[in-house]
Amino acid sequence: MQQVDAIDRVIKNAISVMESSKYQIFEICESARAERDTLNKELQQVMEEAGSAIDQVDKLELAYKKSRIRLTEVSRDFRRFKEEDIKIAYDAATQLQLQLTVFREKEAHLRQRRDDLQKRIKNVDKQIERAEMIVSQVGVVLEYLSGDLNQVTRILESAKNRQMIGLKITLAQEEERKRIAREIHDGLAQTMANVVLRAEISERMLAKGQQEAVKDELIELKGQVRSGLEEVRKIIFNLRPMTLDDLGLVPTLRRFVQDFEERTKIHASIELIGREMRLPSGMEVAVFRLVQETFSNVLKHANASYISLELTFQAQMVKIAVKDNGVGFDVGMIEAKIAKGSHFGLMGMRERVELLEGRMDIESSPNAGSKISMLIPIGSEQRRNITDGQND
């Protein structure tokens, strides 16, 4: 009974500290959102000022051209115009040239200010994303700790408890929804809004005959549209690679490995052993996500220059082996952390493999790279030769 009371006191103290920390993180998140709103308003104002400066530059350029023509006329015709007329025309041209220089510098300054604000907004968005992730994780822990003490004790005694797994799956789904919504709102939506503003500016410059300025603006506009398109493709691919349904697991993994190498500049390869087979849709998605998570862990932690994927199809199982030449780690220490539930990445992967009734093995040592092997059984009713699948 004393042990239960002691655990109860520890949990209550932990809840108090975590609730206080959660509110502090929430306040930081709200402050960052307010800063982002302020920066967005400032960016909107700068964009409007830039448009006004461009219009003013157009007007001054036109006026300066006319003044130069006037100066040329009075300078050539000494019979009609006096020296005073020439002086007036010269002063007018000089004054317009000075104003034009000032407004061109103002336009350049506003463009620079616009780019700086866009960079600051992206940095603030990253801070908000990290804060939201921490708040979400703290909330899940509080849900565990705030429950019935006996239930918490049972959860602590069994890391394989189905309730824990279900809650982790729910959390992962919610995190994925939040991530996708944030990517669309803070990435693609911002890009599209900026594209509209720049298109309006380009339209006004085009009406004024500023072909070179329009060309420069359109180059930047094209770059932003390409960036937005890449974001859309990334979101679609992360939701569910369409090639999984159309072509199957192996072509999807080949494309993933190729994209990974192009994106990260880490040399990556894939090797297929055995005869390729189509698996049930759910199992193919599970295998793809496991490979995706393993590559992501290597990118984040291994500091590797090479990573390889070996996919083996056997009669009764599929074997996934991911090897890298990174910094490696102490397997015993990592296994202890997984057992305690503190290494969430590898623990989640192992749980997903076990849900498929498979096994995950880790081989590594410091400064000697690492290898993660996953064996996933497939029953005879699940196997389907790829040639048979093409005939269906």
pLDDT digits (tens, 9 = 90+) for 293-321: 899 888 888 899 999 999 999 888 899 99
- Token pair, residue 169, equals 């799956």
Which of the two residues, 5 and 24, has the higher pLDDT score?
24
Range with the poorest average pLDDT among 24-33, 120-129, 246-255, 301-310: 24-33
Amino acid occupying residue 371: K
% of the chain residues with pLDDT over 90: 11
Range with the poorest average pLDDT among 81-90, 107-116, 156-165, 189-198: 156-165
CA angle 181/187/190 to nearest 5° reads 110
Alpha helices in 274-359 (DSSP H): 281-297, 331-340, 344-355
Question: Looking at residue 375, what is its pLDDT?
Answer: 92
Place of tokens 């023509």: 69
- Token pair, residue 171, equals 């959390």
Question: Looking at residue 372, what is its pLDDT?
Answer: 93
| Mean of the per-residue pLDDT values of the chain | 76
Range with the poorest average pLDDT among 54-68, 215-229, 297-311: 215-229
Which of the two residues, 22 and 172, has the higher pLDDT score?
22
pLDDT tens by residue, 223-269: 777 777 777 766 666 566 666 777 788 998 998 899 889 888 999 99
Q: In what order do the strands lie in the sheet with 317-324?
A: 267-273, 306-313, 317-324, 370-377, 359-364
Question: Looking at residue 60, what is its pLDDT?
Answer: 82
Strands 277-278 vs 267-273: parallel, antiparallel or unpaired: unpaired
Give the confidence band of 368 by pLDDT, cuts at 50, 70, 90.
Answer: confident
* Helix (H), strand (E) at residue 306: strand 306-313
Structural domains of the chain in order of their starting residue, each with its CATH number = 2-238 (1.10.287), 241-391 (3.30.565.10)
Place of tokens 């590898």: 346
Amino acid occupying residue 333: M
Question: Looking at residue 6, what is its pLDDT?
Answer: 63
Most confident of 69-83, 232-246, 299-313, 329-343: 299-313
The three-state secondary structure class of 269 is strand
Burial tier of 208 (Cβ tally within 10 Å: 0-12, 13-18, 19+): middle
Question: Looking at residue 306, what is its pLDDT?
Answer: 94
